[in-house]
Chain A
Amino acid sequence: MQSLLNVKKDFPVLENNQDLVYLDTGATALKPKVVIDKINEYYNEYGVNVNRGVYTLSYKATTEYEETRTMCAKFLNALEKEIVFTKGASNGLNMVALGFGMDYIEEGDEIISSELEHHSNILPWMEVAKKKKATLKYIPLDSTGRISVDAFKKVLTKKTKVLAITYVSNVMGYISPLEEIIKIAHENNVIVVVDAAQAVAHMKIDVKALDCDFLCFSAHKMMGPTGFGILYGKYKYLKKMSPVEYGGDMIDIVEKDSCIAKDAPYKFETGTPPVAEAIAFKEAIKYIEAIGYDKIKEHVDELTRYALTKLSKIPGIKIYNPTTEVGIITFNVIKAHPHDVATIFDEHHIALRAGHHCAQLITKWLECVGTLRACIYIYNDYSDIDKFVEALEEAVKYFEEW
């Protein structure tokens, strides 16, 4: 056993639930105390609105708030004006499809996505395709359920206008070969929209190196607050993209029969935002960068290897993704429905997700009603994996004897 990160103590939920084994990071990551403290700091010390008042406290709140944009730009290697604040990945992906795609896609065009996507990166494009009489196509997955460059080339045609693709699958834990796919997409004038919701907790994202046109993620999956997220877009596209919501704050000049919106990114940000969440997100970025993505990967890889070795010795279960790359293990007890097994895990205070994980297409591809998903992250340790494996062995035995 190699030495792992020792960060459990940073997470109040784990302090307050001593026997909890948290394996549901794919749904949301736990928040370190620094993030929670920053939320409280805003409400306790300067809890006023942003971008409005000229008084000192409002200036303080606005400064803290806009610092998040600066920090996000640096975090992603983007420009500040390319960072749009959203309610989360789903919100951002919808903004791109409905605000950009709806204008950009024309009748007869083709949009490519994949069966590995979370619903949030398919359904908005399904809606665009329906309204604009375009076609939604899927990259055929290989026998392990992965997206390959060759498979993408097979569905790419002269009519392809947009590729909406996940960076990391929330069910299979595979990393898509995006650099090469994006290069080929751009050679064919295809706009690429990346869902980085799962990726951002596990890998450094450099939007310049990746060269994606849009990229969305939620703060809460990388230990930041819920209800807040980032949409990155190349500025030339953000300039063209229409807002989906209109109202206060996003507008420059309003006349009786016309209005002029602010420039991006502000034209996409109407209404009072989740100020505390936006401000506290800085602490999540600082926290994750202080640990370092290389250390996170080492920790997650080691525990995943440890878990998979133990799981491989349990008969009566099926692992759907033994080659997972980011600590997401998707499995079933062969003889039992995933929800029946989830209750047994719950009795052992092991939190993991059962069901289709908002990705029904991959569940269908796996030909099952649903799956169990254990997600390993920095606050897990060997003991968590031992308890998880022990509970799973009991579940198998229990349902075996039926």
Chain B
Amino acid sequence: MPNNIADLYNQVINEHRKYPRNKGLIEGYKTLHLKNPSCGDDVTVQMKIENGVIVDVRHDGSGCVICCSSASVMSEVLKGKTVEEASQIIDDFYELIKGNMPKDEDRLEDAIVYLNIHNFPPRAKCATLAWRAAGALLVDDEGEDADE
């Protein structure tokens, strides 16, 4: 196996694949459903925001390991953050996916494990799908069901 593959599917990603956190939807939360139509990745992300703080994040869907694990990691990282902090973390994550190490890498917590994705450009859209949904939920007060 080429070494790169082990970098891609590292232990943390594998953990989240096996034991996804915050999985399953809850009625009444702000909800956004996104797809990568070309490959079939399909993720729904939910948030409960109270007084500017993300008190809960949920996700559900189907897709490849990168997509599903990334939704799980995202839910853990963003839960408990303020809307402002979460927006900054999401921006940092996009930079990481492009191969740029953010100034404050600790802030990304476990999401740092996707640092090798930029070596696999076709997979960037898998890694970012759930994060795009989360970002959209933060800026959109109503939430909506929108497909890419």
Of chain A, the residue at the smallest CB distance from B120 is A343
Chain A residue numbers with a CB within 8 Å of B17 are 402
Does chain B have a CB within 8 A of A202? no
Tell me the minimal C-beta distance from B7 to chain A in angstroms: 10
Are A343 and B39 closer than 8 Å at their CB atoms?
A: no
Does chain A have a CB within 8 A of B122? yes
User: In the complex, which range does the number of interface residues on chain A fall in?
Assistant: 10 to 19
Tell me the minimal C-beta distance from A224 to chain B in angstroms: 24
Are A340 and B66 closer than 8 Å at their CB atoms?
A: yes
Does chain B have a CB within 8 A of A99? no
B25-40 residues with Cβ-Cβ distance < 8 A to A are 38-40
Are B2 and A347 closer than 8 Å at their CB atoms?
A: yes
Of chain B, the residue at the smallest CB distance from A341 is B64
Known A343-B122, A343-B123; judge A370-B39 contact (CB<8 A).
Answer: yes
Tell me the minimal C-beta distance from B70 to chain A in angstroms: 13
Chain A residue numbers with a CB within 8 Å of B2 are 347-348
Q: Which of A340, A346, A347, A355 contacts B40 (CB 8 A)?
A: A355
Q: Which of B14, B120, B123 contacts A402 (CB 8 A)?
A: B14
Q: Which residue of B5, B38, B66, B126 has the most chain A CB atoms within 10 A of its CB atom?
A: B5
Does chain B have a CB within 8 A of A344? yes
> B100-132: contact bitstring with A at CB < 8 Å (1 yes, 0 no)?
000000000000000000001011001000000
Chain A residue numbers with a CB within 8 Å of B18 are 402
Does chain A have a CB within 8 A of B80? no
Does chain B have a CB within 8 A of A394? yes
Chain A residue numbers with a CB within 8 Å of B122 are 343, 346
> A324-347: contact bitstring with B at CB < 8 Å (1 yes, 0 no)?
000000000000111110011011
Chain B residue numbers with a CB within 8 Å of A402 are 14, 17-18
Tell me the minimal C-beta distance from A391 to chain B in angstroms: 9
Known A343-B8, A398-B1, A398-B5; judge A337-B64 contact (CB<8 A).
Answer: yes
Does chain B have a CB within 8 A of A373? no
Are A369 and B14 closer than 8 Å at their CB atoms?
A: no
Does chain B have a CB within 8 A of A354? yes
Measured CA separation A359–B96 after assembly (Å): 34
> B32-65: contact bitstring with A at CB < 8 Å (1 yes, 0 no)?
0000001111000000000000000000001111
Chain A residue numbers with a CB within 8 Å of B66 are 339-340
8 contacts between A and B (CB under 8 A): A337-B64, A339-B64, A340-B66, A343-B8, A343-B123, A346-B122, A370-B39, A398-B1
When A and B form their complex, which 9 residue pairs have the shortest distance between CB atoms, in order from nearest? A339-B64, A337-B64, A347-B2, A340-B64, A340-B65, A355-B39, A370-B40, A339-B39, A369-B40
B residues near A (Cβ < 8 Å) are 1-2, 4-5, 8-9, 14, 17-18, 38-41, 62-66, 120, 122-123, 126
